[in-house]
């Protein structure tokens, strides 16, 4: 939905009087879209001249000074700046050199319209910087202003589409280093203080403005005539030596690749990057000063090929943002997915060829499709582009639809257009909007001119609407027919390319087709009989596939015989969805898995299958089916554990064994391993693995459960892990009063501060083996959700609901969730979606089992 539609709906429903009130009323806290749009239309030629005096001690305040220059196109309204720290942090506000009669409300400074001029407004503000976004540590500090946190530190227009030039002056302790977006052009030490001035930046939004200061070491290198600087705090000199060449090389080769691909040189001057210990994200793409999490860039000597690939991908990802996100920026954070998906898309192109031993297509399949389907199949799904009324809710946009579905959709877009047309379109887009802002629809318009396909319709189905196509295959009169329909009855059509895997007696082949209308026909080769057709062969097509009966039956027998690991992965994903939709019996799915696992050598497929088996076992098998299959399952898992060729393969099997073991022999084996009476060759068990085993034994109510928990508590060397274990322990008690009290205590926010601890306990509380005793916690957990969101981290609500409902599969549990949703008609939409996402498998299992 675009902003204009939002405004129209306001105008249509409100009378004129209240519209005028809305215009003159004070803006809401945060950065509301309505305010951002008004400002984007009226503020122009914006620049900031900022100065910060940073004391060494993190407890002492940082004093700041801002000169904000702009032109105002609308003099009928006051100008609203964003600033959160409050009145006590505001020293002085002047406009045009005269004291301002400003007003301060929550999150905003309001400058009266009478003080404004159409050209050259100069607002000068002395302030004490808020610490919330400054990450102040003993020896260093760094800013992190994404998505709209700059105004927690200094006064500004904190929205992505008011780009500005930033000049910066820092006053730091002598002995510290500092880095910012611009290059250093003045440097003066006086006594124990150092003053540094940075040259003015190109136009950038507030979320990309950044600086870091502190005790850093600097490595410098030249590549292809450009100088790079690397700031870090690593004390292990050998580690630095071992890594730095690769880190410089990776930046230089990414930059080089991107300049060629985009046809636009790097536009932000100098190129520095800062490795920050325990940085919140993998990286953050501040132009001229990328920040990284140190541990993912400086690798240990034992680093695996996967870790090397991840490092190369992270560097290529952040470097890609210099064009996608930094040079051209989204208008509003509803399009944040766009910069992320392009950065990943470019990173894969840049990096994958350097790692020819890894199966990148399979990696793409298993890391994206199951997670995207797990949300997109539910009643709680949402479009890739979501509405966002206020930037203070930007955190809630993130989830599987953005991270996993969007990359799938982008790959489809490239296949539909062809790589050359996409590149050509992206070049035009970057050129047209450079140093400005654009929406997804701006890009679609450019790409639409390059294809005869109706890209607006394509984008509408894939990006603006929620859900996936239902695609049914059937074989009739020598042809394979695919029919697509919209499960939500909106008459949407999803255009996409598919690689159909056709199995024939002489072997399997991939047949590419494009589905544009509701039906597509694929003539079958007359000479031989087709054994099966898999619509998402090669792991390409996206949808809810209904196989024809013969293909389904064939795959349930012969899936393990498919030669290509990618095709096997794709077949597993499809059969799992068929099982969820009720077309494959859970017991058949489990039986097939147990037959396949001994032959499956590809670790990514083993992980995929084991994940599905555990879920099917607990959620979709009946109790008697579980009993029937238990010893066979444990035997397969233990064989895999013994035969596994790598320690990670063994770990994968062991964790599946731990989570599904139920037979007396199996549980006794687990107990012996925990007691160090039995050793699994090649499997290294760390402290947290032992703790997990102790909890798994306790939830199975083994006779010695209480003493096992006690002994485990005494084994801990690491105090943090011990504290976590002690926190979780009561949730495992065999006494229901103890578990009740533990859950009751979670209603106090102080007891929810360690979110991973809470989630682990909640998961065990609702373990399937205790399902009937834990149903009583479902309703109170739902009642708590709004508060959970208010007080917790952005991912906590989803994880809270998943941990609560993950162990349940009965009609009673499903009804509790349904009743809650029905009773709360006006419930916040994003939370409602979270409940419906988490409830999906419970609903499906309840319907099937009727239990």
Judged by the rule CB under 5 A, the positions of this chain that interact with Zn ion are 340, 343
Strand order in the sheet with 98-99: 98-99, 90-95, 121-128, 63-72, 43-53, 165-173, 193-198, 184-190
Return the exposure string of 493-511: e unless at least 16 CB atoms fall within 10 Å of the residue's CB, then b: bbbbbbbbbbbeeeebeeb
Shortest Cβ 290–Zn ion spacing (Å) = 10
Among residues 3 and 795, whose Cβ is nearest to Zn ion? Answer: 795
Shortest Cβ 398–Zn ion spacing (Å) = 11
Residue 102 and residue 112 in contact, taking contact as beta carbons nearer than 8 Å = yes
Among residues 343 and 351, whose Cβ is nearest to Zn ion? Answer: 343
Shortest Cβ 318–Zn ion spacing (Å) = 7
Beta bridge partners of 182: none
Shortest Cβ 408–Zn ion spacing (Å) = 17
Shortest Cβ 381–Zn ion spacing (Å) = 23
CA dihedral (750, 754, 761, 777) positive or negative: positive
Beta bridge partners of 496: 515
Among residues 316 and 842, whose Cβ is nearest to Zn ion? Answer: 316
Shortest Cβ 336–Zn ion spacing (Å) = 9
| Alpha carbon distance 666, 656 (integer Å) | 12
Shortest Cβ 166–Zn ion spacing (Å) = 21
Among residues 310 and 483, whose Cβ is nearest to Zn ion? Answer: 310
Shortest Cβ 370–Zn ion spacing (Å) = 22
Among residues 3 and 398, whose Cβ is nearest to Zn ion? Answer: 398
Residues contacting residue 825 through CB under 8 Å, at least 6 positions apart = none
Among residues 286 and 552, whose Cβ is nearest to Zn ion? Answer: 286
Among residues 340 and 690, whose Cβ is nearest to Zn ion? Answer: 340
Shortest Cβ 343–Zn ion spacing (Å) = 5
Q: Tokens 């939409």 map to which residue?
A: 829
| Alpha carbon distance 670, 693 (integer Å) | 7
3-class DSSP state for residue 98? strand
Among residues 438 and 651, whose Cβ is nearest to Zn ion? Answer: 438
Structure tokens at 843: 């609903």
Beta bridge partners of 507: 504
Shortest Cβ 283–Zn ion spacing (Å) = 7
Q: For Zn ion, which residue has the nearest CB?
A: 343
Shortest Cβ 146–Zn ion spacing (Å) = 9
| Alpha carbon distance 550, 547 (integer Å) | 8
Would strands 43-53 and 63-72 be described as parallel, antiparallel, or unpaired? Answer: antiparallel
**DSSP codes of every residue in 808-825:** --SHHHHHHHHHHHHH-T
Among residues 158 and 340, whose Cβ is nearest to Zn ion? Answer: 340
Shortest Cβ 325–Zn ion spacing (Å) = 7
Among residues 283 and 560, whose Cβ is nearest to Zn ion? Answer: 283
Shortest Cβ 324–Zn ion spacing (Å) = 9
Q: What's the Cα-to-Cα distance from 346 to each of 254, 319, 320, 331, 422, rounded to whole Å?
A: 9, 9, 7, 21, 12
Among residues 39 and 317, whose Cβ is nearest to Zn ion? Answer: 317
Among residues 296 and 484, whose Cβ is nearest to Zn ion? Answer: 296
**DSSP codes of every residue in 720-741:** HHHHHHHHHGGGG-SSHHHHHH
Residues contacting residue 703 through CB under 8 Å, at least 6 positions apart = none
Shortest Cβ 317–Zn ion spacing (Å) = 6
Shortest Cβ 328–Zn ion spacing (Å) = 14
Among residues 404 and 499, whose Cβ is nearest to Zn ion? Answer: 404
Other Cβ atoms within 10 Å of 96 Cβ, number: 13
* Count of residues making up the chain: 851
Long-range CB contacts (within 8 A, 24+) of 117-121:
117/72, 117/75, 118/71, 118/72, 118/73, 118/75, 119/71, 120/69, 120/71, 121/68, 121/69, 121/70, 121/71, 121/72, 121/79, 121/95, 121/96
Which of 346, 329, 352, 322 shows the shortest CA–CA distance to 226? Answer: 322
Among residues 317 and 832, whose Cβ is nearest to Zn ion? Answer: 317
State phi, psi for 342 to the nearest 5 degrees.
-70, -40
Among residues 343 and 400, whose Cβ is nearest to Zn ion? Answer: 343
| Alpha carbon distance 505, 525 (integer Å) | 12
| DSSP state, residue 430 | H
**DSSP codes of every residue in 584-602:** S-HHHHHHHHHHHGGG---
Among residues 289 and 559, whose Cβ is nearest to Zn ion? Answer: 289
Among residues 345 and 669, whose Cβ is nearest to Zn ion? Answer: 345
Direct distance between the N- and C-terminal alpha carbons of the chain, in angstroms, rounded to an integer: 41
Structure tokens at 780: 């109170």
Shortest Cβ 321–Zn ion spacing (Å) = 6
CA dihedral (696, 697, 702, 707) positive or negative: negative
Rg (alpha carbons) of the chain, rounded to whole number: 29
- Neighbour-count burial of 311, counting CB atoms closer than 10 A to its CB (0-12 exposed, 13-18 middle, 19+ buried): buried
Shortest Cβ 258–Zn ion spacing (Å) = 14
């Amino acid at each position: 939905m675009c902003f204009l539609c939002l405004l129209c709906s306001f105008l249509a429903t409100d009378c004129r009087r209240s519209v005028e009130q809305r215009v003159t009323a004070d803006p809401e806290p945060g950065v509301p879209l309505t305010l951002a749009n008004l400002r984007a239309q009226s503020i122009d030629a914006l620049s900031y001249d900022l100065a910060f005096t940073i004391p060494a001690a993190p407890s002492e305040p940082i004093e700041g000074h801002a000169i904000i220059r702009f032109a105002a196109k609308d003099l009928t309204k006051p100008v609203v700046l964003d600033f959160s720290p409050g009145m006590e942090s505001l020293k002085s506000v002047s406009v045009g050199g005269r004291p301002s009669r400003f007003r301060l409300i929550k999150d905003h400074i309001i400058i009266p319209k009478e003080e404004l001029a159409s050209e050259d407004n100069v607002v000068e503000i002395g302030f004490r910087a808020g610490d919330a976004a400054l990450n102040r540590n003993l020896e260093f500090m760094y800013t992190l202003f994404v998505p709209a946190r700059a105004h927690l530190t200094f006064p500004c227009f904190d929205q992505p589409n008011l780009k500005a030039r930033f000049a910066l002056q820092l006053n730091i302790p002598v002995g510290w280093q500092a880095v910012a977006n611009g290059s250093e052009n003045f440097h003066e030490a006086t006594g124990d203080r150092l003053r540094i001035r940075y040259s003015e930046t190109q136009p950038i939004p507030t979320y990309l403005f950044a600086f870091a200061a502190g005790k850093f070491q600097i490595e410098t290198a030249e590549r292809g005539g450009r100088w790079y600087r690397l700031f870090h705090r690593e004390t292990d000199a050998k580690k630095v030596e071992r890594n730095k060449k690769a880190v410089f090389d990776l930046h230089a080769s990414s930059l080089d690749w991107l300049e060629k691909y985009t046809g636009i040189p790097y536009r932000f001057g100098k190129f520095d990057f800062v490795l920050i210990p325990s940085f919140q994200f993998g990286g953050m793409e501040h132009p001229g000063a990328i920040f990284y999490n140190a541990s993912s860039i400086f690798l240990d000597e034992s680093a695996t090929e996967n870790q090397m690939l991840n490092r190369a991908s992270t560097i290529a990802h952040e470097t890609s943002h210099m064009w996608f996100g930094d040079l051209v920026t989204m208008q509003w954070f509803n399009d944040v997915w766009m910069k992320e998906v392009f950065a990943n898309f470019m990173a894969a192109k840049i990096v994958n060829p350097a790692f020819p031993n890894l199966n990148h297509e399979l990696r793409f399949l298993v890391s994206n499709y199951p997670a995207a389907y797990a949300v997109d199949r539910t009643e709680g799904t949402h479009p890739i582009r979501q509405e966002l009324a206020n930037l203070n809710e930007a955190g809630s946009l993130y989830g599987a639809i953005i991270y996993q579905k969007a990359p799938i959709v982008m790959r489809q877009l490239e296949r539909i257009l062809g790589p050359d047309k996409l590149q050509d379109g992206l070049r035009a887009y970057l050129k047209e909007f450079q140093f400005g802002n654009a929406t997804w629809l701006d890009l679609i318009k450019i790409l639409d001119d390059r294809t005869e396909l109706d890209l607006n319709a394509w984008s509408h189905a894939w990006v603006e609407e929620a859900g996936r196509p239902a695609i049914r295959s059937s074989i009739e009169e020598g042809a394979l027919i695919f029919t697509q329909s919209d499960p939500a009855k909106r008459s949407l059509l999803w255009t996409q390319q598919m690689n159909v895997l056709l199995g024939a007696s002489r072997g399997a082949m991939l047949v590419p087709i494009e589905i544009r209308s509701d039906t597509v026909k694929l003539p079958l080769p007359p000479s031989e009989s087709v054994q099966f057709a898999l619509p998402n062969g090669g792991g390409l097509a996206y949808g809810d596939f209904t196989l024809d009966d013969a293909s389904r039956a064939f795959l349930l027998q012969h899936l393990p015989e498919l030669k290509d690991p990618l095709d096997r992965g794709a077949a597993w994903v499809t059969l799992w969805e068929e099982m969820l939709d009720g077309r494959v019996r859970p017991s058949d799915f489990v039986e097939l898995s147990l037959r396949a696992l001994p032959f499956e050598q590809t670790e990514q497929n083993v992980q995929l299958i084991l994940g599905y088996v555990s879920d099917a076992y607990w959620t979709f098998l009946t109790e008697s089916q579980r009993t029937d299959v238990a010893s066979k399952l444990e035997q397969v898992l233990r064989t895999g554990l013994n035969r596994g060729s790598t320690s990670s393969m063994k770990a994968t099997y062991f964790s599946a064994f731990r989570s599904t073991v139920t037979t007396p022999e199996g549980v006794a084996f687990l107990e012996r391993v925990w007691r160090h009476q039995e050793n699994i060759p090649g499997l290294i068990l760390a402290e947290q693995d032992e703790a997990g085993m102790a909890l798994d034994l306790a939830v199975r109510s083994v006779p010695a459960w209480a003493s096992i928990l006690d002994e485990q508590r005494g084994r801990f060397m690491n105090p943090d892990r011990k504290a976590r274990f002690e926190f979780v322990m009561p949730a495992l008690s065999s006494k229901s009063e103890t578990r009740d009290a533990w859950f009751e205590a979670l209603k106090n926010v102080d007891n929810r501060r360690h979110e991973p601890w809470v989630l682990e306990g909640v998961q065990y509380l609702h373990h399937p083996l205790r399902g009937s005793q834990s149903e009583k916690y479902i309703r109170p957990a739902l009642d708590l959700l709004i508060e959970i969101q208010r007080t917790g981290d952005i991912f906590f609500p989803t994880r809270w609901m998943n941990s609560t409902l993950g162990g349940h599969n009965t009609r009673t549990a499903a009804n509790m969730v349904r009743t809650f949703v029905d009773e709360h008609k006006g419930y916040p939409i994003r939370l409602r979606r979270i409940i419906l996402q988490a409830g999906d498998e419970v609903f499906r299992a309840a319907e099937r089992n009727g239990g």
